Amino acid sequence: MKYGMLLSLSLMTATTVVQAQPTTPPAVVAPLSRYTTANGQITFFSSAPLEDIEALNSRVAAIFELAIGQLAFSMLMRDFQFKNTLMQEHFNENYAESEKHPRARFTGKLLTIPDETMLCNGPQPVYVEGFLSIHGVKRKVRVPGTLQLRDNKLVVTSKFAIAPADFKIKIPALVRNNIAKSIDVSVILTCSPTAASTAVR
């Protein structure tokens, strides 16, 4: 058994010479199923009569336990960047109230888990069900997405719409007609495999 294990390891690493036999058997490491990132991207877009509203947050922390299909991500609302500085100030002060509600979070689980072979062949459609917390309000959501294993990384994407009113985000009457009742959200998470203990704050 010990010599068979050494032979298998040598073939996997393309080593042609086994120099010495270890005094203790090498540990068997299970395939990695945890993928993480600290720089995922979330964009939101709202079409308005006077001016479209668009912002990007490229500091999204995420963890994906692929074997059990669990996903979590977290981001600071102040990390959303707007082209218009004044619009960014209004977003943080009047709408998101970022001082009072600094973070948005999502925790959920895949309804079905594609096998690794499928994931290596291209983006696979999935649905995720879980809880989205924004502005101090937690709501259950079910959103579509895709998963793909590419260059040893797990690429997660999703596009869905949310309504500010569902999260008790109040729109001042003066600009209410200029802001859409629903906002389009796009998620791109390129996660690297990791064996370390990782948590999303």
pLDDT single digits (tens) 23-65: 444 433 334 589 999 999 999 998 877 778 899 999 999 999 9
Which one, of 56, 61, 58, lies nearest residue 73 by Cα?
61
In the chain, pLDDT over 70 holds for what percent of residues?
78
**What is the model's pLDDT at position 170?**
86
- Assign residue 106 the CATH number of its domain: 2.40.128.110
The answer to the question of residue 20 being in a domain is no
One DSSP character per residue, the chain reads -HHHHHHHHHHHTT--------SSPPPPPPPP-EEEEEEEEEEEEE--SS--EEEEEEEEEEEEETTTTEEEEEEEGGG-EESSHHHHHHIIIIIS-TTTS-EEEEEEEESS---HHHHHTS-EEEEEEEEEEETTEEEEEEEEEEEEEETTEEEEEEEEEE-GGGGT----TTTGGGS-SSEEEEEEEEEEE--S-----
The answer to the question of residue 104 being in a domain is yes
The answer to the question of residue 10 being in a domain is no
In the chain, pLDDT over 90 holds for what percent of residues?
65
One DSSP character per residue, 54-82 reads EEEEEEEEEEEETTTTEEEEEEEGGG-EE
**What is the model's pLDDT at position 9?**
33
The residue range of the domain holding 113 is 30-193
The answer to the question of residue 88 being in a domain is yes
The answer to the question of residue 8 being in a domain is no
Count the residues in the chain. Answer: 201
The answer to the question of residue 61 being in a domain is yes
Q: What is the number of domains present in the chain?
A: 1
The answer to the question of residue 126 being in a domain is yes
The answer to the question of residue 198 being in a domain is no
**What is the model's pLDDT at position 176?**
67
Residue 108 has pLDDT above 50, yes or no: yes
103-110 and 70-76 as β-strands: parallel, antiparallel, unpaired? antiparallel
